[in-house]
Amino acid sequence: MATAPVPPAAQPERENYLNKHYGVGSWLFTTDHKRIALLYLLSITFFFFIGGFFALLIRLELLTPGGDLVQADTYNKLFTQHGQVMVFFFLIPSIPAVLGNFLVPMMVGAKDLAFPRINLLSWYLYIIGGIMMLHCMLTGGVDTGWTFYVPFSTAFSNTKVIEAGLAIFVAGFSSILTGLNFIVTIHRMRAPGMTWSRLPLFIWAHYATSIIQVLGTPVIAITLVLVVAERALHLGIFDPKLGGDPLLFQHLFWFYSHPAVYIMILPSMGVVTEIIACFSRKRIFGYSFVAFSSIAIAVFGFLVWAHHMFVAGISVYAALVFSLLSYAVAVPSAVKVFNWTATLYKGSIHYDAPMLYAFGFLGLFTIGGLTGLFLACLGVDMHVHDTYFVIAHFHYIMVGGALMGYLGGMHFWWPKISGRLYPEGWARLAALIVFIGFNLTFFPQFILGYLGMPRRYYQYPPEFQVLNVLSTAGATVLGIGYLLPMIYFLWSMRYGKPAPDNPWNAAGLEWKTQSPPTTFNFEEEPVVTWEAYNYEELDAPHKEEVPVAR
Amino acid sequence: MFDNFPLWPDRASTAAGNVDALFIFLLIVSGLMTLLIFVAVVYFSARYRNRQGVPAEQIEGSTPLELTWSIIPLFVFMVIFAWGAVVYFKSRTPPRDSTEVYVVAKQWMWKLEHAEGQREINELHVPVGRDVKLIMTSQDVIHSFFVPAFRMKQDVLPGRYTVAWFRAIKPGTYHLFCTQYCGTQHSGMIGSIIVMEPAQYEAWMSGGSTGPLSATGEKIFGELGCSTCHRSDSQGRGPNLQGVFGKPVQLEDGRIVTADENYIRECILDPGARRVKGFQPIMPTFQGLVSDEQVNALVAYVKSLAKPGEGGVKPAAAVPVNSAANHSSANQAAAEGSQVNP
């Protein structure tokens, strides 16, 4: 906020995690959670732009009904690898591995994660998986769709299914290790006085996410191993010709891949919660309901997978149960939205860039969530399943929701991460461009879906063209919106104003240490005597800053 | 409406109206919810924007409010769920006396065969106002049979039958899409459903066919030697198939299953899997020896044996009145020749 006093920049730069050591080795062998977070930041940004480039080619191909830009096989590889890269190499690690890695220890008042070396290992596993994926792409790619449906993937595709499967298998372990680290850290390393009910809701969200990562990821790992086994060794598991069951694959795949959506969205919800509290200068309305709704989402999220299979050939009674449970998981999400809205009530609301992203999140997540009701509805899903309606829906959640939260969080904590302020005007502009571009890209796809345009179509009947052109136009705007923050974040690292320790005058232990923090985060172990979101104390007119420790 | 910019899909089946009504209800409900949240967010943000000297008022929360906004949405969700379930059940339950069409999907085409014997590729002619049941299987990967104008979609799996049905209400030509990604030409695996007035349809039907599917099935039944064991008396080494279809069958392991299309199919391709009580496991598998089309014909034949008074020997009787008496077997041979065996 503009209101926060900016202290004179300390002239000789204070020692911090960035300038303590120099050299490539000091980064590649670091066990500092903040440095690992930056390693992740670099790597996922790289993959984001690869995935984004694929998306751009997809949208260009769909500009016209015929197939003219690329070959059908190329197109199939583009959407497959767009999905795989964005899901497994960007969205799943995005908030947990970057912001979570950076903030979880600081927010609970710890020096580092519980297992710093395992944390570094998780990054290496991610990189090994990423290199395998790049190798797979560069040597031919894979065309199964990110869903790997059998028997296409095990018996019919001529592409590099095994390589892609193993790449994701390896990257999966990085996700498991991150989750494991967070769970142990949150349980064991909270500072004195940091009780469960004083934890920031960001921590609750990451705790719920970690549960899914630890319990869900092994299932996809095993599933991919089985796909590889069937493809390479012709073991009959899924292919009916070998005596297998193709629906078994879908059950296993979605048992992870539905909860995986919550791996992407829960951390984003955590970020948005922090932002809304800070820029409304208020405690979060219904703290415990928001906290437990995260846990409820993580638990119920495991019980709804077959709503991806209503027309796949499962029994009508199974479909009935899964539809019902899907509505059950919608309730805690709705509760969160209502609580965020209620937090604004009688607040003192500031419109800084992070808050604009949070507003964007609220809008897009609401639309994404509500269209989920359509898909969970058996009668409507028969029509819209596997059409662009689904594409639009999950992009509203995973891009509109997860990515908006990620960008909001990057802006919010950028001063802490980099020690510099980003240019506020540009940031607000970027938030606006992303919001407009996003809606222009994906809203027409809801209409396309109801009209019946199937997903994964390289060519389409001409009556769908106008809406596709709108969508492609929107994607261009959206692309600019994503490039902007990267440019001004990089710019700010050199030219940005030095950031004060707490530029937003925000609650939370991470703001009570210097910007950027020192290697061990705190000079002395903090002792917590206040609740999360104590904005009343922070804003009290004549009150000294709460001491770090006593 | 606009040829190049439609905003609502054609409504050409009895199910379409039901799905649309539910969809519109959902649009209204979610529209109201969106409006409620947007208005609240915009109003609060404007009304409570940061002003000097006006601090935020700290509010702990409110359990009654939390319960309200949990229970009311839950209630609304349950209404949506129940309505959706009713529409779905209706669409999943083919009426008893539907006309049957066997569908075989393969990369990247649809092969359709009417019970009356007409074969089509990537086109399906159906009359207005008749229930049509699709009995579908795939020769290779998973496909999905989607007719947007009918609001109907069902995945088509290898190794088993899945079933869908519709009743067209409006003549016209409608898209048939494959909606389960199936490889290179996935987006080329499209076709047309041609809905005709009944009189036109009769004329089309009389255009020549290979004879009813059940007759084809009977022929195969003889050729493969099935009839030596599955005799129409109680002396056979295999179960008598008269009247079996659609009835419960006692299995060797004590279970009871209904002899539906999938069960008959399985008995042909994997006879040992669910063997009828009282018979020896002597039947060889026909996996790889018969094509999916031939299995369909055999299933159609076994079904025809269950129709009262038809006895299978006069398969023509299984065909609804109209039709299609004489048929060139050359046509059939050509069609068989084009098949790919699994």
Per residue in A461-482, pLDDT (tens digit) is: 999 999 999 999 999 999 999 9
pLDDT of B231 reads: 82
B-interface mutation test, from A382, A390, A534, most B Cβ less than 10 A away: A382
At the fourth CATH level, which superfamily is domain B213-318?
Answer: Cytochrome c-like domain (1.10.760.10)
**3-class DSSP state of A488:** helix
**pLDDT value, residue B277:** 86
Classify domain B10-37+66-211+326-342 at the CATH topology level: Immunoglobulin-like (2.60.40)
Which neighbouring-strand residues pair with B145? Answer: B154, B178
Residue boundaries of the structural domains of chain A: 30-539
Q: What pLDDT, in 10s, does the model give residues A246-255?
A: 999 999 999 9
Phi/psi at A298 (nearest 5 deg)?
A: -65, -40
The structure tokens 């003889």 sit at: B222
Cβ–Cβ of A72/B69 closer than 8 Å? Answer: no
Task: Output the six-digit token pair for A328.
Answer: 């059950």
Question: How far is A184 from A186, CA to CA, in rounded Å?
Answer: 6
- On whether any CB of chain A is under 8 Å from the CB of B28, the answer is no
Mean pLDDT across chain B: 85
**B158 reaches A (C-beta below 8 A):** yes
CA pair distance B234, A77, nearest whole angstrom: 58
**8 Å CB contact of B48 and A280:** yes
Extents of the domains making up chain B: 10-37+66-211+326-342, 213-318
User: Is B342 part of the contact surface with chain A (CB cutoff 8 Å)?
Assistant: yes
State both tokens at B12. Answer: 């050409």
pLDDT band, residue B335 (cuts 50/70/90): very low
Residue A217's nearest CA partner among A269, A265, A252 is A252
Nearest CA in chain A to B147: A452
Residue B35's pLDDT band (cuts 50, 70, 90)? very high
How many CB pairs lie under 8 A apart between chains A and B? Answer: 282
For A350, the closest of B50, B55, B144 (CB atoms) is: B50
Helix (H, G, I), strand (E, B) or coil at A345: coil
Residue with tokens 């209502």: A338
Tell me which chain A residues have a C-beta less than 8 angstroms from the C-beta of B153: 311, 382-383, 385-386
CA distance A533 to A482: 30
pLDDT attached to residue B228: 84
C-alpha span between A158 and B183 (Å, rounded): 10
Cβ-based contacts of A280 with chain B (< 8 Å):
48, 56
Check residue B311 and give its pLDDT. 42
Tell me which DSSP letter residue B104 carries.
E
Whether the CB of B1 is below 8 Å from some CB of chain A: the reply is: no
pLDDT attached to residue A339: 96
Q: What percent of chain A has pLDDT over 90?
A: 91
Residues of chain A with pLDDT under 70: 1-12, 541-550
The mean per-residue pLDDT over the stretch B185-209 comes to 90
- Reported ipTM: 0.91
Residue range B227-247: mean pLDDT, rounded:
84
Domain A30-539 coded CATH 3.40.1350.10: no
Q: Give the range among A174-183, A405-414, B110-119, B173-182 with minimum mean pLDDT.
A: B110-119
CA dist., res. A222 & res. A228, Å (int)? 10
Contact B91 A382 (CB under 8 A): yes
Please tell me the predicted confidence (pLDDT) of residue B287: 84
pTM across the whole model:
0.89
End-to-end CA distance of chain B: 45
Axis-axis angle for helices B292-304, B329-337 (nearest 10): 130
**Backbone angles phi and psi of B174, in degrees to 5:** -125, 150
In sign, the C-alpha dihedral spanning A314, A317, A323, A326 is negative
CA distance linking residue B62 with residue B64, whole number of Å:
6
What pLDDT shows up at residue A542?
Answer: 55
Q: Residue holding tokens 């129409």?
A: B232
How distant is the Cα of A263 from the closest Cα of chain B, in angstroms? 23
Closest alpha carbon to A183 in A126, A114, A118, A121: A114
pLDDT tens-digit map of B255-312: 898 888 888 888 888 888 888 888 888 888 888 888 888 888 888 888 888 875 444 4
- Kindly determine whether residue B70 and residue A461, on different chains, have CB atoms separated by under 8 Å: no
Sheet holding B152-156, edge to edge: B123-127, B191-196, B172-178, B143-147, B152-156
Which pLDDT score is estimated for B55? 86
Query: What is the reported pLDDT for A1?
Result: 46
- Distance from the Cα of A447 to chain B's closest Cα (Å) equals 7
Task: Kindly list the residues from chain A whose CB atom is less than 8 angstroms away from the CB atom of residue B69.
Answer: 334-335, 338
Residue B306 burial (C-beta neighbours within 10 Å; 0-12, 13-18, 19+): middle
d(Cα A381, Cα A388) in Å, to the nearest integer?
Answer: 12
Is the model's pLDDT at B3 over the cut of 80? no
CB-based contact (8 Å) between B243 and chain A?
no
| Joined tokens for residue B55 | 């601090």
| Residue B241 pLDDT greater than 60, yes or no | yes
Q: What is the largest CA-CA distance in chain B?
A: 99
Spatial neighbors of B161 by CB under 8 A, at least 6 apart, are B135, B136, B137, B261, B262, B265
Task: Give per-residue pLDDT as tens, A153-169.
Answer: 999 999 999 999 999 99
| Shortest CA gap A381–chain B (Å) | 9
Query: pLDDT, tens digit, for every residue of A224-239?
Result: 999 999 999 999 999 9
B180 touches chain A (CB under 8 A): yes
Task: Answer yes or no: do A156 and B183 touch at CB < 8 A.
Answer: yes
Q: Contact A240/B158, CB-based, under 8 Å?
A: yes
Q: pLDDT (tens digit, 9 = 90+) per residue, A378-410?
A: 999 999 999 999 999 999 999 999 999 999 999
